[in-house]
């Protein structure tokens, strides 16, 4: 009987260690995720699986132009390390309870970096006075705005590739760099 309990202990110990390692990888290195919605069509499609590198988030690096990133859309919410731990835990628990799945995590493309001046007119995005050549969008955007937006220090401006069907920085404002949770690598 004691060998049975020893075997159960060994299995439980191994499972707990494997889950801890998976959680550490998920929090600090790579995160699998799934696209929910049509805001990145034609580049990404609903239900598509992605791998997100978390290195840039851990290092608090400003992503580059055109990077596809995962953001926390609650731009006025002060993020802490607890959020970085709780979100992966909720993602794992969402397998058992779908109500735990987060709705505030979006996938978008970086259009503006700190100090950039952005304008939206004539169906296009203009950055620092130059029209962006965006081969990754399907159709000209119908959104237009008078004047320019200057991206503040410590922020980026993110938009979906499906410009006419995307909630993004045009509506929530610039995204704090600490709300950029990683960039899509596959």
User: Which residues are known to be catalytic?
Assistant: 39, 108
Q: Which of 93, 169, 92 is nearest to 127 (CA)?
A: 169
Query: Which of the 8 DSSP states describes residue 163?
Result: G
105-112 vs 130-131, strand pairing mode: unpaired
Sheet with 30-34, edge to edge strand ranges: 30-34, 49-53, 180-184, 68-72, 105-112, 155-159, 175-176
């Amino acid at each position: 009987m004691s060998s049975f309990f020893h075997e159960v202990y060994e299995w439980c110990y191994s499972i707990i260690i494997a889950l801890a390692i998976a959680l550490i990888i998920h929090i600090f290195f790579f995160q699998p995720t799934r696209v929910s919605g049509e805001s990145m069509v034609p580049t990404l499609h609903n239900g598509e699986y992605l791998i997100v590198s978390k290195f840039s988030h851990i290092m608090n690096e400003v992503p580059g132009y055109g990077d596809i990133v995962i953001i926390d859309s609650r731009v006025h919410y002060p993020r802490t390390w607890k959020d970085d731990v709780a979100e992966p835990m909720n993602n794992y628990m969402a397998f058992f309870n779908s109500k735990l799945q987060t709705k505030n995590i979006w996938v978008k493309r970086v259009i503006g970096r700190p100090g950039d001046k952005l304008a939206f007119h004539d169906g296009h995005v203009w950055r620092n006075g130059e029209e962006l050549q965006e081969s990754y969008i399907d159709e000209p955007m119908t959104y237009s705005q008078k004047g320019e937006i200057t991206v503040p220090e410590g922020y980026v401006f993110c938009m979906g590739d499906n410009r006419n069907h995307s909630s993004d920085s045009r509506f929530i404002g610039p995204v704090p760099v600490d709300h950029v949770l990683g960039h899509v690598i596959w």
